[in-house]
Amino acid sequence: MKRIRLYRHSKTFSGALVFFVASVMITSGFLTFLFLYLLHLLEIVPDIKTATLTLPFLALAMSIVIGICVSLVVSRMLLRPIHNMISGTRAVARGDFTVRIDNDGTAGEIRELIDSFNKMAGELGSIEILKNDFINTFSHEFKTPIVSVCGFARQLRSENITESERREYTDIIINESERLAKMSSAVLLLTKLENQNIISGCVSYRLDEQIRDCILIFQKNWEDKDISLNVELDEVFYIGNPEIMFHAWRNLIENAVKFCTPGGEISVKCYMKHNSIHAIISNDCTVLKQETLDHIFDKFYQADESHASAGNGLGLSLVKRIVQLCGGYITAESDNDRILFDIELPVPPAGRSGNDTERPED
């Protein structure tokens, strides 16, 4: 929990309070003197020199009345921003993140406080929108396969369907069930990683061998699409959690195979450069809009709005979170009919291998 030191600000506020009290006292004293002097000129009160008993009590009563009136007027003016802050805070507590406080006529720390409040309300509003969008998308993505499973399961109960239709419906149920299981696993893993700041179970292993194993998993897929592979993997040792990193490479390569144009090419490179590990995975694809690149790592985001390609929009979100936990970063670039993912990972102290070759930039 972050703690904020308030000593300097409390001194400033105390000074402002002292100034306020002193101003009220001086103002009420001056007005009391003027009022008594006016009464003396009008001969409503006796001579000041002879009025030794009644005058102090009269001055005290006038000072109290005048002080209260001045305090009410001045405090209403000075404390108006504070009252507005209280009203705005109550509105935010009720869930209204559209409230904003007008900071016209304020200066100093009060203005800074109002600006900070408005910024906070805006950020909370953005988070609320993202949360609602996530819940809506999450519900839709889970509801679709569940409805399909239920619908085709009911069809199987019918006695009027043919054997081929029965096999077709059964295959659909199996595919949708597997899709639902993968989505559930991806959501659980992503939730776990988002609430995790340290990766445990780190060991030294060959990163290039792990990437090569992931490529072989999808061999049938890229062979069916007549995709050619350009693989350049240097011998790279890495200290990390093999199981977590496996998810990153698997999702990236699966994404490349899935969206690569038939007969196109996929390029996979891994090498050391400037004390960092670079992994570049690119593939031929249709032209991507800049909007797609801006949201390509968002949860449940799919460039294919028709959902013609199987997927749940969580793979690249997982990849980005895993790379962040490893202290690296990932970027996505598109050059006409090709998309490229560039991953850079920091080299642990014992992470440099004997075959530490450097390559020129692509």
What's the pLDDT score for residue 123?
78
Mean pLDDT, residues 50-61: 58
Work out the mean pLDDT of the chain and round it to a whole number.
75
What's the pLDDT score for residue 160?
82
Beta bridge partners of 344: 278, 329
What's the pLDDT score for residue 353?
41
Indicate left, alpha or beta for 234 from its phi (over 0: left) and psi (-120 to 50: alpha). beta
The Cβ-side half-sphere exposure at 50, using a 13 Å CA radius, reads 4
Beta bridge partners of 333: 340
Tell me phi and psi for residue 359, to 5 degrees: -120, 150
Q: Looking at domain 203-346, what is its CATH homologous superfamily? A: Histidine kinase-like ATPase, C-terminal domain (3.30.565.10)
State pLDDT tens for residues 144-177: 778 888 888 888 888 888 888 888 888 888 888 8
With beta carbons less than 8 A apart as the criterion, state whether 22 and 14 touch: no
State pLDDT tens for residues 249-298: 988 998 899 888 898 899 999 999 888 899 999 988 876 777 777 778 87
With beta carbons less than 8 A apart as the criterion, state whether 142 and 183 touch: yes
DSSP SS3 for 284: strand
**In whole angstroms, what is the distance from residue 343 CA to residue 328 CA?**
7
Q: Rounded to two decimals, what is the model's pTM?
A: 0.54
Tell the residue number behind the tokens 């249709």, with chain if given: 286
Neighbours of 61 (CB within 10 A): 11
Q: For the chain, which residues make up each domain, given as ranges?
A: 7-124, 133-194, 203-346
Q: What percent of the chain has pLDDT over 70?
A: 65
Longest dimension (CA), the chain: 122
With beta carbons less than 8 A apart as the criterion, state whether 280 and 345 touch: no
Does the domain spanning 133-194 belong to CATH 1.10.287.130?
yes
**In whole angstroms, what is the distance from residue 177 CA to residue 173 CA?**
6
